[in-house]
Amino acid sequence: MSYSLMDIDPAIAKALGFPKPAYTVVERERRWLCREVPRELIARTETIVDLYVTGTQLRLREARLHEARLLEGVPAMLRLSRKADVDAHTRLITSIYLPENEFAVLAAALPGRRIRKIRHRLKAPPGVVLSADEFQGELSGLRMVEAEFDTDERMAAFAIPDFAIREVTDDPRFGGGHLVANGLPDGL
C-alpha cells in the first residue's frame, strides 16, 4: 500500500536515514494480541521468514503463498527492507525487491536472526489491510493481528477487532526486531 510523505517532516525523515522521499513509503499501523485467527475472514495465507540483520534496521523477507503446491508458478515475494519508526504508529520504509538468486546470496551471507510466521490476510474495509500472524518456532503460541491504514483518520477510527485481546501498538516488546532479539515478552 502506498502512502504520502506530506505529513512527515523532511528533517525527521532525513535524520532517520530516509533522505530521498521518492523511495520511501509511510506505514500507519496498529497491532493487537489475538486469541484466535478468524478463519472465516481469511482471504489468503502466506508463510513468511524474516531475517533481521544484526546491527542494522534491515530486514530480509521471504513470503510464499502457504498453499504453493496449489499455485504452481506463483513467485515468492522476496525483498530487502529498511524501516525506522517516526512514532509507535508510523514508520518509514524503503524496499528492494529481489530475484531468487540475489535473495539466496543475501540470505546466506547476512548475519542475523530469523522469525517465522504464518500470515493470514483478512477481509477488511477499504483503506485497511488486516493481517493475522501465527508465529512459529521460539515464538510459537504468539498470535497478533495488525492493521495498516491509508490515512490517520482511518487508523484513529478503527475499533479493536472482536477476536483481539488487547492493543500492543505502543508496546515496543511486540515489534519484530524486539521479538527476534528477546523472544516472547514476560507475562504471555
Give CA–CA dist 12/160, Å, rounded: 30
What is the tally of structural domains in the chain? 1
Whether 188 is in a domain gets the answer no
In the chain, pLDDT over 90 holds for what percent of residues?
Answer: 74
Whether 15 is in a domain gets the answer yes
Q: What is the pLDDT of residue 155?
A: 94
Q: Are 115 and 95 in contact (CB under 8 A)?
A: no
Q: What is the pLDDT of residues 98-115, one digit of tens each?
A: 999 999 999 999 999 999
Whether 187 is in a domain gets the answer no
Whether 168 is in a domain gets the answer yes
Q: What is the pTM of this model?
A: 0.86
Q: Are 80 and 95 in contact (CB under 8 A)?
A: yes
Q: What is the pLDDT of residues 42-81, one digit of tens each?
A: 999 999 999 999 999 999 999 998 765 555 667 889 999 9
